[in-house]
Structure 1
Amino acid sequence: MKLLWSIMVLLIILLQFRLWVGEGSFAQVWGLEEAITEQRAENTDLAVRNERLFAEVQNLRGQQGALEERARMNLGLIRDNETFFLVVEP
């Protein structure tokens, strides 16, 4: 009878060990849940960035003035018969 009880206690200890430390344990589940939370936050930030970029692309595709403004500001382009003045402050 003592042998049976010893075997049962040993099995319970082994099962508890696996529950707390082994593969699929509580610690591993908690770590994965934390990683999922962090990834969702990052995905939200990236989704907002993608929406801004998509709106900018739509603006550049749909309006000729927006494309021209971008070229003037970033590339310093001017039209024919225009004079470029560079104002330098002291």
Structure 2
Amino acid sequence: MLRWVALILLLLLIGLQVELWSSHGGMSEVTSLRAAVKKQQDENDKLTQRNQALAADVDDLKHGEQAVEARARGELGLIKPGETFYQVVPKSAASTAAPAASGTSGN
């Protein structure tokens, strides 16, 4: 009688182990879900840092005149009265523009 109980318990234990490791909701799925959660947490951390940087930019634009001026100069190319504007053209852009200009004048 005791052997039968031990055998049944052993078979039950083996069955539960198989169920735990191979079935839907088993350990393989838990491992993949943990990896997905880690990936999402990393993405959330990046987005949180980005949001903090954007919030700092918004705060600077609301309360700082220098930030507004810097953005206007950088994005819109605005200059102050009395300033002289100089545009520096890289050599690679100048050399590609020259052949195109000479090719159109030959027509």
* TM > 0.5 fold call: yes
Provide the C-alpha distance between the structure 1 equivalents of 2:87 and 2:18, rounded to a whole number of angstroms: 75
TM-score (norm 1): 0.71
For structure 1, the 5+ residue unaligned runs are none
Provide the C-alpha distance between the structure 2 equivalents of 1:84 and 1:60, rounded to a whole number of angstroms: 26
| Aligned residue type for 1:32 | L
Residue 29 of structure 2 is matched in structure 1 by 28
RMSD: 2.7
Residue by residue over 1:43-78, the C-alpha shift from the partner in whole angstroms, topping out at 9 and shown as x without a partner, is 111111111111011101111221122101211123
Residue 85 of structure 1 is matched in structure 2 by 85
| Aligned residue type for 2:85 | F
Greater length-normalized contact order (CA 8 Å, ≥ 6 residues apart): 1
Provide the C-alpha distance between the structure 1 equivalents of 2:12 and 2:86, rounded to a whole number of angstroms: 84
| Aligned residue type for 1:37 | K
Give the share of equivalent positions with the same residue, in percent: 38
| Aligned residue type for 1:84 | T
1:34 Cα deviation from its structure 2 partner: 1.0
Provide the C-alpha distance between the structure 1 equivalents of 2:17 and 2:87, rounded to a whole number of angstroms: 77
1:84 Cα deviation from its structure 2 partner: 3.5
For structure 2, the 5+ residue unaligned runs are 92-107
TM-score (norm 2): 0.62
